[in-house]
Structure 1
Amino acid sequence: MKRKVMRRVAGALRDVWRSRFGRSALGGGRDRGMTTSEYAVGTIAACAFAAVLYKVVTSGAVMSALQSLIKEALDAKF
């Protein structure tokens, strides 16, 4: 009777181990990475960020600040 119980427990543990770790080793289980819709949303967000950054960098205040910074760097005395 005791051996039957031990065999059942060992079999159950083996099944749990295989279902838990065997599936992930074979590539099954949870999805990893992004789906097509997530790529689309990420691409749109990156393009929107690039457009905002372009507008900021090409604004008058930032352009004049960059020009003065470059002018000071080129006119620096060593």
Structure 2
Amino acid sequence: MERRDLRYDEGMATVEYALVTVAAAGFAGLLVVILKSDEVRELLVGIVRSALGG
């Protein structure tokens, strides 16, 4: 592989990290919206209560 070919990929890791960070932030935002709903909250509380035997 020539040296010139290696320069083409410079900065790719930074772009990949940025894309993963943006995707993770979007997924976290979606989870917050989902977990704020009353139905999901009641479901999770029910799961925790049954796991604790109460």
TM over 0.5: yes
- Counterpart code for 2:32: Y
Cα separation, 2, equivalents of 1:74 and 1:46: 31
Q: Deviations over 1:17-56 (max 9, x none)?
A: xxxx3x2xx5x414163455x72xx233322221111111
Higher relative contact order (CA 8 A, sep 6+): 2
TM-score, normalised relative to structure 2: 0.61
Q: Aligned residue for 1:18?
A: none
Unaligned 5+ runs, structure 2: none
Max radius of gyration: which structure? 1
How many equivalent residue pairs?
A: 49
Q: Which runs of 4+ in 1 moved over 6 A?
A: none
Relative to the length of structure 1, the TM-score reads 0.46
Identity %: 27
Segments of 5+ residues of structure 1 without an aligned counterpart are 1-20
